Amino acid sequence: MNSTAISPLTVTPLGFIPDLKNATLVPFNETACENWKEIHHLVFHVANICFAVGLVIPTTLNFHMIFLRGLLTIGCALFIIWATLYRCALDIMIWNSVFLVVNLLHFIYLVYKRRPIKIEKELSSLYKRMFEPLHVPPELFQRLTGQFCNIQTLKTGQAYAAEDKTSVDDRLSILLKGKMKVSYRGHFLHNIYPCAFIDSPEFRSTQMNRGEKFQVTIIADDNCKFLCWSRERLTYFLESEPFLYEIFKYLIGKDITNKLYSLNDPTLNDKASKKIDRQPSLCSQLSVMQMRNSMASTSDSEDGLQMFLRGTSSASSLRNNQQEFCNAYGVGRLQHDALC
């Protein structure tokens, strides 16, 4: 018969005070450092300095991510040197090799994105005059002009559009070189100079109505070269780029306004048209204020133009030119009565 030995319970009497003086201390961590080792090699400290400097670079700095990845790459390379030559630690070398590859790939990618974008010589003046002042990045401009568009030429006397014959649904163009003449039923209206839209009124007035025809004749008055977009593909592209969409709304609205003012001054030349880019218009200060106030009160440049024309319709000469503008460019059937 097996008997189980019962160990007696240890009872601590009341009022017992443990002897702390003769107690043996058990180390909390058996791996605790008893003697600090010597300081590591200088390469180790330089690597950590690179990490520290990279992490404290302010994000407001233009190339802060490139500097960060570059310093991390240098730090990892120094850690590999330290672990290989002075520490002989395989695990440290392997981990830092992985970090080195990751940071180096990021560094190369960021430098590639920051590479200088080379804009074609034919388009450089267009970018500097129209898009660069509006802070359009060169890479975005390159995307805009590198797809679904081409550069076309016209010789002197050739027609870009014929009145009541050419459809307005196909394209949108900007004149790069030369001069074009716009006429309505044989009457001269105005000239078109480089870095100006050729068919901005038609593009704006027929966005909701397809199948319309040009109501003016546009003829090359000189050997011309122009940038031509496919209208449909440009519209899809602008829908995916809200920033460029707003830029185009502004540029087209401004171009329509400049064409309207040029009706009052048929002698407007290219030198004067360049001043329009720096000055809002060629009209009086009062008209400028009225135009700004009307356009500021609405998000649509066409509605702003309509309000401006209403406010200045008391002048008979402007009303006559306004009538020509409406008839020639077809601002829109629903707005024709309001404008003209």
Name the amino acid, one letter, at 111. V
Task: Find the mean pLDDT for residues 267-282.
Answer: 51
For 331, list phi and psi in degrees, rounded to 5.
Answer: -60, -20
Question: Mean pLDDT of all residues in the chain?
Answer: 76
Gyration radius (Cα) of the chain, Å: 37
Name the amino acid, one letter, at 128. K
pLDDT tier, 282 (very low <50, low <70, confident <90, very high otherwise): very low
**pTM of the predicted structure, to 2 decimals:** 0.58
274, 277, 283, 286: CA torsion to nearest 10? -160
pLDDT in tens, 119-178: 888 888 899 999 999 999 988 898 888 877 889 999 999 999 998 888 888 889 999 999
Residues of the chain with pLDDT > 90, as a percent, come to: 34
